[in-house]
Structure 1
Amino acid sequence: MSHPRHHLDEVIHAPVRFSIIATLKSCDKAEFAFVREVIEVSDSVLSKQISQLQAAGYVKVTKGYLGKRPRTWLSITDVGRAAFAAHCDALRAIAAGEFGQAPS
Protein backbone atom coordinates (compact mmCIF):
# COMPACT_ATOMS: atom_id res chain seq x y z
CA MET A 1 0.00 0.00 0.00
CA SER A 2 1.43 3.39 -0.92
CA HIS A 3 1.49 6.31 1.46
CA PRO A 4 -1.57 8.56 0.97
CA ARG A 5 0.67 11.60 0.40
CA HIS A 6 1.21 10.23 -3.10
CA HIS A 7 -2.47 10.96 -3.74
CA LEU A 8 -2.27 14.64 -2.75
CA ASP A 9 -2.94 16.99 -5.64
CA GLU A 10 0.00 19.38 -6.04
CA VAL A 11 -2.21 22.01 -7.67
CA ILE A 12 -4.74 22.02 -4.83
CA HIS A 13 -2.25 21.49 -2.01
CA ALA A 14 -1.02 25.10 -1.89
CA PRO A 15 -2.91 26.84 0.96
CA VAL A 16 -4.40 29.66 -1.13
CA ARG A 17 -5.52 27.34 -3.94
CA PHE A 18 -6.94 24.90 -1.38
CA SER A 19 -8.89 27.78 0.18
CA ILE A 20 -10.21 28.90 -3.21
CA ILE A 21 -11.47 25.43 -4.11
CA ALA A 22 -12.95 24.95 -0.63
CA THR A 23 -14.83 28.24 -0.99
CA LEU A 24 -16.12 27.45 -4.47
CA LYS A 25 -17.22 23.87 -3.75
CA SER A 26 -20.26 25.00 -1.81
CA CYS A 27 -21.75 27.38 -4.39
CA ASP A 28 -22.64 27.48 -8.08
CA LYS A 29 -20.47 30.53 -8.70
CA ALA A 30 -18.89 33.30 -6.67
CA GLU A 31 -17.80 36.78 -7.56
CA PHE A 32 -14.03 37.34 -7.62
CA ALA A 33 -14.27 40.04 -4.93
CA PHE A 34 -16.23 37.74 -2.62
CA VAL A 35 -13.61 34.98 -2.87
CA ARG A 36 -10.83 37.54 -2.35
CA GLU A 37 -12.46 38.79 0.86
CA VAL A 38 -13.29 35.33 2.21
CA ILE A 39 -9.77 33.96 1.81
CA GLU A 40 -8.10 37.27 2.68
CA VAL A 41 -5.69 37.79 -0.20
CA SER A 42 -4.96 40.60 -2.63
CA ASP A 43 -6.37 40.81 -6.15
CA SER A 44 -3.00 39.91 -7.66
CA VAL A 45 -2.50 36.85 -5.44
CA LEU A 46 -6.01 35.58 -6.15
CA SER A 47 -5.62 36.21 -9.87
CA LYS A 48 -2.35 34.26 -10.05
CA GLN A 49 -3.76 31.32 -8.10
CA ILE A 50 -6.96 31.28 -10.16
CA SER A 51 -4.85 31.12 -13.33
CA GLN A 52 -3.16 27.96 -12.06
CA LEU A 53 -6.47 26.37 -11.07
CA GLN A 54 -7.97 27.33 -14.43
CA ALA A 55 -5.00 25.84 -16.32
CA ALA A 56 -5.54 22.57 -14.45
CA GLY A 57 -9.21 22.60 -15.43
CA TYR A 58 -10.39 22.95 -11.82
CA VAL A 59 -11.96 26.41 -12.03
CA LYS A 60 -14.00 28.18 -14.68
CA VAL A 61 -13.70 31.96 -15.01
CA THR A 62 -16.61 33.92 -16.47
CA LYS A 63 -16.39 37.63 -17.20
CA GLY A 64 -19.37 39.88 -17.69
CA TYR A 65 -21.13 42.97 -16.45
CA LEU A 66 -23.43 43.75 -13.58
CA GLY A 67 -25.07 46.90 -14.85
CA LYS A 68 -22.19 48.86 -16.35
CA ARG A 69 -19.57 47.44 -14.03
CA PRO A 70 -17.29 44.61 -15.15
CA ARG A 71 -17.39 41.50 -12.96
CA THR A 72 -15.57 38.19 -12.81
CA TRP A 73 -17.27 35.06 -11.52
CA LEU A 74 -15.53 31.87 -10.49
CA SER A 75 -16.94 28.37 -10.36
CA ILE A 76 -15.52 24.95 -9.66
CA THR A 77 -15.65 22.42 -12.50
CA ASP A 78 -16.62 18.77 -12.16
CA VAL A 79 -12.94 17.91 -12.60
CA GLY A 80 -12.04 20.34 -9.81
CA ARG A 81 -14.73 18.95 -7.54
CA ALA A 82 -13.44 15.39 -8.04
CA ALA A 83 -9.82 16.44 -7.52
CA PHE A 84 -10.72 18.30 -4.32
CA ALA A 85 -12.62 15.28 -2.96
CA ALA A 86 -9.67 12.97 -3.70
CA HIS A 87 -7.22 15.43 -2.13
CA CYS A 88 -9.35 15.67 1.03
CA ASP A 89 -9.59 11.86 1.18
CA ALA A 90 -5.78 11.67 1.08
CA LEU A 91 -5.47 14.30 3.84
CA ARG A 92 -7.95 12.38 6.01
CA ALA A 93 -6.03 9.13 5.45
CA ILE A 94 -2.78 10.81 6.46
CA ALA A 95 -4.36 12.39 9.56
CA ALA A 96 -5.92 9.07 10.58
CA GLY A 97 -2.66 7.19 10.16
CA GLU A 98 -4.19 4.92 7.53
CA PHE A 99 -0.89 4.06 5.89
CA GLY A 100 0.35 1.10 7.85
CA GLN A 101 1.83 0.56 11.23
CA ALA A 102 5.45 0.60 12.29
CA PRO A 103 6.90 -2.89 12.81
CA SER A 104 6.85 -4.08 16.42
Structure 2
Amino acid sequence: MTTMPELDPVIHAQARLRVTASLASLCDGDKITFPRLQELLDMTAGNLSTHLRKLEDAGYVEITKAHQRRTPVTYVELTRQGRRAFEDYTAALRALLNPVNGAAAPTDDSDRSTTP
Protein backbone atom coordinates (compact mmCIF):
# COMPACT_ATOMS: atom_id res chain seq x y z
CA MET A 1 0.00 0.00 0.00
CA THR A 2 1.37 3.42 -0.95
CA THR A 3 1.16 6.36 1.39
CA MET A 4 -0.61 9.55 0.42
CA PRO A 5 1.73 12.47 -0.21
CA GLU A 6 1.64 15.32 2.30
CA LEU A 7 0.65 18.81 1.19
CA ASP A 8 2.82 21.61 2.57
CA PRO A 9 0.62 23.32 5.21
CA VAL A 10 2.36 26.66 4.66
CA ILE A 11 1.36 26.74 0.99
CA HIS A 12 -1.92 24.85 1.35
CA ALA A 13 -3.94 27.73 2.82
CA GLN A 14 -5.97 29.18 -0.05
CA ALA A 15 -4.57 32.72 0.15
CA ARG A 16 -0.96 31.53 0.43
CA LEU A 17 -1.48 29.11 -2.45
CA ARG A 18 -2.72 32.02 -4.58
CA VAL A 19 0.27 34.15 -3.54
CA THR A 20 2.76 31.35 -4.21
CA ALA A 21 1.20 30.43 -7.57
CA SER A 22 1.29 34.07 -8.65
CA LEU A 23 4.93 34.48 -7.66
CA ALA A 24 5.86 31.14 -9.28
CA SER A 25 4.50 32.45 -12.58
CA LEU A 26 7.27 35.06 -12.58
CA CYS A 27 10.66 34.18 -14.01
CA ASP A 28 13.24 33.02 -11.50
CA GLY A 29 14.67 36.09 -9.75
CA ASP A 30 11.89 38.48 -10.85
CA LYS A 31 10.14 40.62 -8.27
CA ILE A 32 6.72 42.22 -8.07
CA THR A 33 5.70 45.26 -6.07
CA PHE A 34 3.45 44.73 -3.08
CA PRO A 35 0.64 46.96 -4.49
CA ARG A 36 0.70 45.10 -7.83
CA LEU A 37 0.51 41.71 -6.10
CA GLN A 38 -2.29 43.02 -3.89
CA GLU A 39 -4.18 44.18 -6.98
CA LEU A 40 -3.66 40.89 -8.83
CA LEU A 41 -4.93 38.85 -5.89
CA ASP A 42 -7.65 41.30 -4.87
CA MET A 43 -6.57 41.12 -1.24
CA THR A 44 -6.45 43.76 1.45
CA ALA A 45 -3.01 45.04 2.42
CA GLY A 46 -3.34 43.58 5.92
CA ASN A 47 -4.44 40.15 4.69
CA LEU A 48 -1.66 39.98 2.10
CA SER A 49 0.91 41.12 4.67
CA THR A 50 -0.16 38.40 7.10
CA HIS A 51 0.18 35.66 4.50
CA LEU A 52 3.47 37.03 3.16
CA ARG A 53 4.86 37.00 6.71
CA LYS A 54 4.03 33.27 7.04
CA LEU A 55 5.66 32.57 3.68
CA GLU A 56 8.67 34.70 4.61
CA ASP A 57 9.05 32.91 7.97
CA ALA A 58 9.15 29.61 6.05
CA GLY A 59 11.83 31.01 3.73
CA TYR A 60 9.53 30.86 0.69
CA VAL A 61 9.41 34.56 -0.14
CA GLU A 62 11.80 37.45 0.21
CA ILE A 63 10.57 40.95 0.94
CA THR A 64 12.82 43.82 -0.14
CA LYS A 65 12.21 47.43 0.80
CA ALA A 66 13.70 50.09 -1.46
CA HIS A 67 13.07 53.61 -2.69
CA GLN A 68 12.14 54.88 -6.13
CA ARG A 69 13.22 58.48 -5.97
CA ARG A 70 11.80 59.42 -2.56
CA THR A 71 8.94 56.93 -2.49
CA PRO A 72 9.30 53.69 -0.51
CA VAL A 73 8.60 50.53 -2.53
CA THR A 74 8.20 46.97 -1.26
CA TYR A 75 9.15 44.13 -3.61
CA VAL A 76 8.14 40.50 -3.20
CA GLU A 77 9.84 37.53 -4.81
CA LEU A 78 9.73 33.77 -4.51
CA THR A 79 12.97 32.30 -3.18
CA ARG A 80 14.58 29.20 -4.64
CA GLN A 81 13.34 27.32 -1.57
CA GLY A 82 9.84 28.69 -2.18
CA ARG A 83 9.89 27.72 -5.85
CA ARG A 84 11.01 24.21 -4.92
CA ALA A 85 8.32 23.97 -2.22
CA PHE A 86 5.69 25.04 -4.76
CA GLU A 87 6.94 22.46 -7.28
CA ASP A 88 6.84 19.78 -4.58
CA TYR A 89 3.35 20.93 -3.56
CA THR A 90 2.01 20.71 -7.12
CA ALA A 91 3.64 17.29 -7.60
CA ALA A 92 2.02 16.03 -4.38
CA LEU A 93 -1.32 17.44 -5.47
CA ARG A 94 -1.03 15.68 -8.84
CA ALA A 95 -0.19 12.43 -7.05
CA LEU A 96 -3.26 12.83 -4.83
CA LEU A 97 -5.50 13.49 -7.82
CA ASN A 98 -4.08 10.63 -9.85
CA PRO A 99 -2.89 7.97 -7.39
CA VAL A 100 -2.32 5.18 -9.94
CA ASN A 101 1.47 4.89 -9.67
CA GLY A 102 1.76 8.63 -10.28
CA ALA A 103 0.80 8.08 -13.92
CA ALA A 104 -0.47 11.08 -15.82
CA ALA A 105 -4.09 11.12 -16.89
CA PRO A 106 -4.79 11.07 -20.62
CA THR A 107 -4.88 14.57 -22.00
CA ASP A 108 -6.74 13.92 -25.24
CA ASP A 109 -9.04 11.36 -26.88
CA SER A 110 -6.18 9.63 -28.70
CA ASP A 111 -5.16 7.99 -25.41
CA ARG A 112 -8.59 6.45 -24.89
CA SER A 113 -10.12 3.43 -26.50
CA THR A 114 -13.11 4.17 -28.75
CA THR A 115 -14.47 0.63 -28.82
CA PRO A 116 -17.50 0.03 -26.62
- Structure 2 length normalisation: TM-score? 0.79
Aligned residue pair count: 98
**Superposition pairs of residues 65-76 of structure 1, within 5 angstroms:** 65-76=67-78
Question: 2: distance between equivalents of 1:53 and 1:29?
Answer: 15
Structure 1 stretches of 4+ with a deviation exceeding 6 A read none
Residue 20 (structure 2) aligns with: 21
Distance 1:41 1:11 in 2: 18
- Does structure 1 residue 2 correspond to structure 2 residue 6? no
Q: Which moved more, 1:47-56 or 1:16-25?
A: 16-25
Q: Which runs of 5+ in 2 are unaligned?
A: 103-116
Asked if the contact 1:54–1:60 (Cα under 8 Å) also holds between the matched residues in 2, the reply is: yes
| Higher helix residue share | 1
Deviations 1:6-64 (A, max 9, x none): 2x100000011111111111221100011111111100000000000000000000001
Query: What TM-score, normalized by structure 1, do the two folds share?
Result: 0.88
Q: How far apart, CA to CA, are the structure 1 residues paired with 2:37 and 2:68? A: 17
Cα RMSD over matched residues? 1.5
Q: Which has the higher contact order (CA 8 A, sep 6+)?
A: 1
Task: Select the structure of larger CA radius of gyration.
Answer: 2
User: Which residue identity is paired with 1:63?
Assistant: K
